[in-house]
Structure 1
Amino acid sequence: MKKVCFWGTRGSLPVSLTARDVREKIISALSAANGKSFKTPAALNEFVATLPFSTAGTFGGNSSCVEIINGGTEHFICDMGSGARPLGQAKIATYGVPNPQTYHIFISHLHWDHLMGFPYFAPMYIPGNRIVIHGCHARLEEAIRLQMRSPCFPVDYSQAGARIEFDLMTPDQAHYIAGINVTPKLQLHAGDSYGYRFESIEQTVVYSTDCEHQLDDLVEREACVKFFAGADLVIFDAMYSLAEAVSVKADWGHSSNVVGVELCQAAGARRLALFHHEPAHDDIQLNRLLAETRRLEQITRGDQPALEIISAYDGLTVTL
């Protein structure tokens, strides 16, 4: 494994910037530029680089879709939210047609925000491609087919040009797939959700979204610590604040940034990516959450190595 690319990082449903959001970014940038002059494009670019991410960029609005890049013709994808559409377009642009590829897709659970991008995944329509959909839900194939069944979608599943296969995985058991050991783990979420631990000879990536962590369940806590152990990157559902996760939104099936830090520190993970962002949170709120999480890590670190914390956004590529 070489890199991880985030194509969709929102939870529950896709969102987009509004005209008001764009206006506020423009006002913020112009306010920061007040009194400055930029004689060259390079000077202007240099100034933009100093602006906070919430002004100069955006976390994006596509729902969950993450690519683990290993090189070669076999590709690893976690979930098929709306981010699967730009991912599929990028693959066609990169490899062209015909140029058969194999896409291993790992589904965390069967809720729509994690499946809705499948009908828009362009490689599915290209003859010669092979798509293997991995998961632990008995109704996995039924749920995928439903995305392309009338009246839900105008193009029927039978019109896919690629060969589509389904692989029902066994939780807590390592599955050797295209040179990588993949181990699913059951997580607490309505209808069940599964995290995935991807292990190559040199790197480990954990994808753990749509999971609620009960703070008083010590057995499950230890199981999660073992699942995250030594990971180079943990992609973690940090949809809520800790206060929301244990009160107003308890039993909603999601976790918090605070719990993510605690589990990754206990597991000796190297990097934590906050993921599955609350759709009601704008870029300023998500930027603030990232800063608060980094401060939390600093004051709770103790003598152990620093845990690097990032906040995933659509288009972010992380080198392992």
Structure 2
Amino acid sequence: MLVRFWGTRGSLPVAPRARVIEDKLTNALMRASGRSFADEAAARAFINDELSFGEGHTYGGATTCLELEGADDSFFILDMGSGLRELGNDAFRRIAQQGRSRTYNFFMSHLHWDHIMGFPFFGPAFDPGAHIIIHSGHADCEAALRRQQEEISFPVAFDWLRAKIEFKVLTPGETHVVDGVEVELMPQDHSHVSYAWKFRKDGKTLVFSTDAEHRMEDIEDKEAFETFFDKADLVICDTMYSLAESITLKADWGHSSNVMAVNLCHGAGVKKLALFHHEPTSSDADIDNLFDETVRYEALNRKDRTPLEIVCSYDSLELEI
């Protein structure tokens, strides 16, 4: 299975201001210390080998949207954040070039605006030959999507969409098979409830768990999520805050920390953890620091466990599992 990250921010989309780009360029020039580069490849090598990811790139600013390749035929899309617009445009390209199916299976963590705001801009929703199936644990999923396209909020009504659109409410705790992939969902602690999703195919397991608050003292929650994460090849986890933030100023805000993600993945024997749902006020340098802190914490608390590989998600990242 291949996972593509089209949007990795939480709460609202963000974009770097002009001064941020200027600061990045200034820092790179200072780090280059007057050296010249023989060609573009050498310049890129400097960026990739000698600068941190946040110095030479950006984690991006689109809200939650991922794609899973591995289904028998259809597109598998996790959440409808602002990253969905670009995914839709790329889907048109792949359909034209590769003859891909025009069936789109969506799996919704929850219905807060940052996770549905991309749907009115999803090009395939206007394709009369497209078939969109929206899987959710929420019975009010259709109501939420229709409401954001009411005239007071958006100029294009939901009923103007031309794709065939279906809504399916799935039951937590059961295994559902969607286009050759085994799918499970589990409720999480978040306003109006969010759901973690597990996808299994060909012996590989992906868990997508965003917008969930995990507390150090909640043993029942710990045991439940360690069971759900058990031996997953990849867990994409809400790490919006540091531990200090999650237990002080931002306690009960519905999000978790890098430390809790590592603890749960250690307990579950997970192979790889992707830090996800980045705080919108965090700069690229802030996210770099959170990533470095998480890697250090994992190493210090690994004990006799197999090392947990940690990656920090960014818009356009692709991970093979």
Q: Which residue number in structure 2 is paired with residue 17 of structure 1?
A: 16
Stretch deviating more after TM superposition (145-154 or 183-192): 145-154
Contact 2:275 2:311 (8 Å CA) reproduced: yes
Q: Which residue number in structure 1 is paired with residue 267 of structure 2?
A: 266
Query: Is 1:166 equivalent to 2:167 in the alignment?
Result: yes
Q: Which residue number in structure 2 is paired with residue 38 of structure 1?
A: 37
Aligned-pair CA distance for 1:203: 0.7
Aligned-pair CA distance for 1:42: 2.7
Q: How does 1:240-279 map to 2 (within 5 A)?
A: 240-279=241-280
Stretch deviating more after TM superposition (37-46 or 299-308): 37-46
1:67-116 superposed Cα distances (whole Å, 9 cap, x missing partner):
11115531111100001010001101111399651111011111100000
1:185–1:259: structure 2 CA closer, same or farther, 3 Å change rule?
A: same
Aligned-pair CA distance for 1:282: 0.4
Q: Which residue number in structure 2 is paired with residue 52 of structure 1?
A: 52
Contact 2:71 2:179 (8 Å CA) reproduced: no
Contact 1:14 1:63 (8 Å CA) reproduced: yes
Aligned-pair CA distance for 1:135: 0.5
Q: What stretches of structure 1 of length at least 5 have no aligned partner? A: none
Rounded to whole Å, the distance in 2 between the matches of 1:125 and 1:252 is: 35
Q: Which residue number in structure 1 is paired with residue 295 of structure 2?
A: 294
Q: Which residue number in structure 2 is paired with residue 219 of structure 1?
A: 220
Q: How large is the Cα RMSD of the aligned pairs?
A: 1.3
Q: Which residue number in structure 1 is paired with residue 87 of structure 2?
A: 87
Rounded to whole Å, the distance in 2 between the matches of 1:39 and 1:67 is: 38
Rounded to whole Å, the distance in 2 between the matches of 1:144 and 1:10 is: 20
1:226-256 superposed Cα distances (whole Å, 9 cap, x missing partner):
0000111100000011111111111100000
SS at match of 1:265: helix
Contact 1:5 1:67 (8 Å CA) reproduced: yes
SS at match of 2:196: strand
Q: Which residue number in structure 2 is paired with residue 200 of structure 1?
A: 201
Aligned-pair CA distance for 1:35: 2.8
Aligned-pair CA distance for 1:17: 0.6
Rounded to whole Å, the distance in 2 between the matches of 1:250 and 1:225 is: 22
Q: Which residue number in structure 1 is paired with residue 64 of structure 2?
A: 64
Q: What stretches of structure 2 of length at least 5 have no aligned partner? A: none
4+ residue segments displaced more than 3 Å: 97-100
Aligned-pair CA distance for 1:217: 1.7
Rounded to whole Å, the distance in 1 between the matches of 2:227 and 2:42 is: 48
Q: Which residue number in structure 2 is paired with residue 26 of structure 1?
A: 25
Counterpart amino acid of residue 73 in structure 2: T
Contact 2:73 2:100 (8 Å CA) reproduced: no
Stretch deviating more after TM superposition (37-46 or 251-260): 37-46
Paired positions, count? 319
SS at match of 1:211: coil
Stretch deviating more after TM superposition (232-241 or 46-55): 46-55
